[in-house]
Amino acid sequence: MGLKDYHTWTYPNIPEPVAQELDQLGRSLVVVGVIGRSRCDLANKMRAFRMEPPRDHKPCDEQLQCYYKPGTSTLLVHFETTFDDAILGQQIDATMEQDGAPFIFDDFYERMKCRFVRMMLLALHVCHILVYVETGQTFDLSLVTIFQLMKFAREQHLMQFLPSLLKETPAGALLGEKCRLCTPRILFLFENFPQDDAKTRECVSACEFQTEDSIYEFLRHHQIISNSSSSSLLALPNNKQFVFYNAHDELHADRLLQSIEFLNLDMRKLDAKEEEDDLEVLELAPFEGFVKSFGESFEKTNYEEQQYKTEHTVWNFLQRHVQDALLGCFDEGSFKQVPQRGQLQLLNAHEWHDCIAELHKLLVTNAGTQESINEIRNEDYRLFLQSFDESLNYEKKFWAHLCEIGLKIGIAAYKQAAPVIYGSSMHQQLLADATLAFEEEGRGPPAEASIAKMSEICLRHWQDGRQQCEQLSLRSQPCTQPRKMPHDKHSSGVIHVSSCNCGRTQGRREDPFSLQQANYEFYEHMVKMCNLCVKVKQFKFPIFEPSNNDYRAAAFEVAFPLLHNGKNRLAQDAELDEEDEELPTGDQEQQHITQSNGCSQPLSPTFGSDLNMSIAGFGVSLNESEPCFEQGSTSDAESTSSSTSSAESNNELVLQLKEPAKKPEEPCDPASATPLPSMCLTSTTEYLPGLVHTLSKVGLLPLFPSWSLACVGPSSIYSHNTGLQEHFQSGFLSGANFLLPWDVQLRLVHAPKHYHNSHQPHMSKKQQRYRKHGDRMVLKIFVGFEYECSRGHRFMMCRPDRVLRGGADIERDTCSKMVHTNMPLYYPCPCRSQKNYLAQLMRIHVVTPKAPVNIIVDPKVCMGKDKYTFTLGSMVPPRLSQSAYWILRLPYVYQGDDALIAPPEKLEPDDMMAGGYLLAGMFGIAETDPTLDLNDQGRLDTSGVGTFTKI
């Protein structure tokens, strides 16, 4: 033993000398199990007994370390369990090192708790006395739960197989029917005393008595102890202390502080006389008073208190209970109320070793290997080993029960609030409400899995004939029809109010789901309801005409729209090179001028070279008579600024009058007819799925027109004093129903002299009277930019950022500024509503003057991330007849190459153009050609296109 007065070994490796000493005790061996918590690295709970394991000892789960003091009858068995911090750390490290297995705290905690219960059950059957060591200062209430689990496991599992299995072994006769030595007496050792309390005899005793009362009430209330020793799991002594507080010994002291204290005691001298040697020693002290004593002098120390500290030890506390067992009164009065004689079996060391070996094998060893479980024939024992952890996991059952209740509540809440047909947004909202209802009852780790199960059940309920189609409309509204039920067309249930082409009649329109439904079918339906739409004269836009039934929509690379630019340009260059070989020299030069106009993006192939000339003419200032093609490369912003500046400086337009061309007759032989170049490139098998824009593929036309241009009557139907009346244009807001007057000064440049003399007699009297006013005239044009919201409210704009508010907003140059400024495509409607509706630019009203000129309209709408520039798609911009009221209706929905451009949800006041805008400079002017009809303008050849000028 050396300096130690005890033996220690690891079970079952008992040293031979120790075995001989234990055999000499005979049947007077009292086994004390020490179990509980520890915080030291060696998982040692024996320091209160002034015992320690060997230096090479390594703590391990389910390991037993035995201690024996020679000359005593006490065998102390130290149980190393998962409640020891050192072993708990080992288990955490082993769990974290498992590949692919996430660390789940609840599962880990339950597994550690079950391992501890297994070791407590072993101690319950092989020990006479149990000492539970607690590192805290108060009783841990979770220990009551451990005791309950032990009682449940013993009554429901162990007693089903232990008697039969032990009956075949020597341990069966020794342990009896109860399969244990006795109802073990449990003692509680608290290693730390409350720091705030005084460590006197009265305070320590009062604390111990108070803790005893609390423990007794808890154990009695939960039936851990009872009046019957056979039904009681544990026993408590009658009128004897079973709680011990270590108030005087510092069990886990800091070694460095202890060394300093010993140094202080060694340097302190008892005599009060100080010598020179003492002063030299004092100078070495790090601070004043370093060698002074911290305690009271011996004379002031209470002798009774000193005697109490000497006698108040754990060993003395334990020996009083060991003596009860040796004297045979161990169970007498062990339940504090009714004295009762119970079973107490004292064994010798050899017999006890046989008992613990068999129980350790049944309760601990076999539980750790799957092979041993498969070889067991006893069904109850096999069930115990397989489902022991699961049966003790009461918290998991509790959480599962709560989650089951919450699952029923959540599903019921979902089904009760679910309508007959609903979409994914409603499903998500109902699911969120059901989750909140679930969380009122559902708790614990299974909650996440239960919510996932509830989501799956609710999803199946939704998909079982209640799922909404949810096909999005062009206005981003989902279809409300059932998904699995057939329906002819989609319907979102959202109704908009829109006006017809002429603007006279308003009707309710369903939310469109296709471009044709939005831009064509509704307005064709409104023609049947409007008396004016039937009578008006409309411009026919070019559309796709198939040559057979096998036609399809053209496919595009939507992600790279600008790539079509290069492809189209290469195709055009190759075709134009072939045409240059057949054209005369002059025509080739003109053709090359048209190609090399310097535009950064090519014009729409549908327009052909005629539109190139017209656009080039739009780039000149107002006082130039002929278009200059070299200036066609200017951008829209530059042309807008130049036109605005010229209009402000000299609002005069120069118009060259030429000899009117005769209307050609239709050729009888189709072969003799000379088709236009652009018509030769028109496809008859593929159509354009969207609207025509400047980057459209060569030769593609749409299936239907998305624009509308109609003459709704003579110019006299509009009165600038009253504005647009309700019977003519319905739905306008008060004060926003006026057109803006636009005065354009025109200077006529006459034709050559022979032309003037030869044609002068043929002029009408009206023209002659008109010329009498001189070469200058003033054209009064009325223009209005109409916006319409989805509720049918219509209004005119007087500025790009201001709604017309009556005659006060109409100034002399208001319209001149408007036509030379980009107009936003969307603008907030001024109607009062909780929802901020966006109004869309839908119509452009033009009242042409009473003069021998035609107003040209060539609108361009720029919008989308890819900056599509949508155009009318006609080869030649339409000419508006004189002295008439014209209305140009814009598309309701814009779509590029298979890419829908949705309107913005909200416009920022600082960026009204973010949703799109109408480019400035859409109006031009040309001399009236009486030989042309409104829908015969496409018969113009290349030479007749440049006869108009941008206003």
**In this predicted model, what pLDDT tens digit does every residue of 567-617 receive, in sequence order?**
444 344 444 444 444 444 444 443 433 333 333 223 222 222 232 222 223
The region that residue 336 occupies, defined by phi over 0 for left and psi between -120 and 50 for alpha, beta otherwise, is: left
Task: Give me the pLDDT at residue 53, please.
Answer: 92
CB distance 882 to 853 below 8 Å:
yes
CB distance 710 to 539 below 8 Å:
yes
Rounded average pLDDT over 659-668 = 48
Question: Pairing relation of β-strands 506-510 and 537-538?
Answer: unpaired
**In this predicted model, what pLDDT tens digit does every residue of 231-270 receive, in sequence order?**
889 999 888 899 999 988 777 666 777 788 778 777 765 5
Rounded average pLDDT over 47-76 = 92
Higher-pLDDT residue of 244 and 774 is 244
Per-residue pLDDT for 685 more than 50?
yes
Alpha-carbon span 836 to 491, nearest angstrom: 23
Alpha-carbon span 74 to 30, nearest angstrom: 5
Task: Give me the pLDDT at residue 147, please.
Answer: 94
Task: Give me the pLDDT at residue 750, please.
Answer: 62
Cβ–Cβ contacts within 10 Å for residue 426, how many? 17
Give the pLDDT band of residue 648 (cuts 50, 70, 90): very low
Closest CA to 768 of 757, 760, 756, 777: 760
Give the pLDDT band of residue 471 (cuts 50, 70, 90): confident
CB distance 714 to 919 below 8 Å:
no
Q: Say which range, 148-157, 393-402, 653-662, 772-781, has the weakest mean pLDDT.
A: 653-662
Average pLDDT, the chain: 79
Q: For the purposes of burial, counting CB atoms within 10 Å of the CB of 865, is it exposed (0-12), middle (13-18) or buried (19 or more)?
A: exposed
CB distance 858 to 872 below 8 Å:
yes
Rounded average pLDDT over 390-402 = 88
Alpha-carbon span 587 to 584, nearest angstrom: 5
Task: Give me the pLDDT at residue 796, please.
Answer: 93
Task: Give me the pLDDT at residue 151, please.
Answer: 93
Rounded average pLDDT over 451-469 = 93
Whole-model pTM: value is 0.58
Alpha-carbon span 225 to 231, nearest angstrom: 8
Q: Which amino acid is at 881?
A: S
**In this predicted model, what pLDDT tens digit does every residue of 857-879 receive, in sequence order?**
999 999 877 788 999 988 889 99
Per-residue pLDDT for 145 more than 80?
yes
Per-residue pLDDT for 769 more than 80?
no
Rounded average pLDDT over 900-911 = 86
Rounded average pLDDT over 117-142 = 93
CB distance 907 to 828 below 8 Å:
yes
Rounded average pLDDT over 143-150 = 93
Assigned token pair, 618: 């739009």
Q: Say which range, 99-113, 332-346, 647-661, 887-901, has the weakest mean pLDDT.
A: 647-661
Give the pLDDT band of residue 774 (cuts 50, 70, 90): low
Q: Residue 917 in 3-state DSSP?
A: strand
CB distance 76 to 32 below 8 Å:
yes
Question: Where is mean pLDDT largest: 254-263, 434-443, 741-750?
Answer: 434-443
Task: Give me the pLDDT at residue 603, please.
Answer: 26
Task: Give me the pLDDT at residue 682, please.
Answer: 81
**What share of the chain has pLDDT > 70, as a percent?**
75
Q: Say which range, 67-76, 496-505, 674-683, has the weakest mean pLDDT.
A: 674-683
Q: For the purposes of burial, counting CB atoms within 10 Å of the CB of 845, is it exposed (0-12), middle (13-18) or buried (19 or more)?
A: buried
Rounded average pLDDT over 679-686 = 73
Task: Give me the pLDDT at residue 813, please.
Answer: 73
Q: Residue 113 in 3-state DSSP?
A: helix
